[in-house]
Amino acid sequence: MRTIPMTLLAASLALGLAACGAPQDGVDDAATPPTAPAPTAADAPATPADAAAAPDLTLASTAQAVATLAATEGSSTTGELAFQAIDGGVAITGQVNGLEPGSEHGFHVHEVGDCSAPDGTSAGGHFNPMATAHGRIGEGEHHVGDTDNIVADDTGVARVDTRLDGATLGDGAATDILGRAVIVHADADDYATQPTGNAGARLACGVIEQQAARM
């Protein structure tokens, strides 16, 4: 019986082991990148629909309105006013023209948005949804439509910067002044006489209307 030389047997074993450890089908495991995990819903980028569904809380709108004052019969008083909802009430800014220099005038929101009567009486009485006594803001009971007197400068122009306490704007509540009238009176409001403050005739009237959207 022929004896296989030990050196030949060792060489055969070495070749067999090398064949077992070789990459299969030409694939190099060291050169193949690992498989990435599947993306989850949390990893997905926001879509336009997602952005539209999320409200932008920094763009909360504030209700605004305007009123153009037209002179009543025999008066030359006119003006432009802006109304803006604020915390606890409505701010009024603007100007009133055609007044006597240095004169003081009652200035109120009235219950009816109708300035058709020559003397402005179609606007009704003071806006008073809470059925309270007439008075002055900050000094006890008063109508929602009550505010401070306006004062003309030496050119007959009154710069308005005042507020309605407890009023709202455009919310449909009982205190909502949108669609009502604003009146400038001939005399100063004494803040005491019921129910109008003895402010006299009506010099100008304007309806409070929603401000047109800007393009």
CATH of the domain at 158: 2.60.40.200
Tokens of residue 154, six digits: 């030496």
Q: What is the pLDDT of residues 33-74, one digit of tens each?
A: 445 455 554 444 444 444 333 333 222 345 799 999 999 999
pLDDT band at 139 (very low <50, low <70, confident <90, very high): confident
Give me the mean pLDDT over the 136-154 stretch. 93
- Tell me the per-residue pLDDT of 65-92, one tens digit each, with 9 for 90 and over: 999 999 999 999 999 999 999 999 999 9
User: The whole model's pTM is what?
Assistant: 0.70
Does some domain include residue 137? yes
Average pLDDT over residues 98-118: 97
- Asked if the structure places residue 7 within a domain, the reply is no
Give the domain range for residue 192: 63-210
Q: How far is CA 95 from CA 1, 69, 78, 79, 195, in A?
A: 128, 10, 9, 6, 26
Looking at the domain assignment, is residue 109 inside a domain?
yes
What is the per-residue pLDDT for 103?
98
CA distance 83 to 179: 12
**What is the percent of the chain where pLDDT is above 90?**
66
What pLDDT is attached to residue 212? Answer: 61
When divided into structural domains, the chain yields a total of 1
CA distance 166 to 137: 10
Supply the pLDDT for residue 22: 45
pLDDT of residue 31: 39
pLDDT tier for residue 13 given thresholds of 50, 70 and 90 = very low
The reply to whether 21 falls in a domain is no
Q: Is the dihedral of CA 149, 153, 155, 159 positive or negative?
A: negative
Residue 17 lies in a domain: no
Domain contains 90: yes
Whether 107 maps to a domain, the answer reads yes
Residue 85 lies in a domain: yes
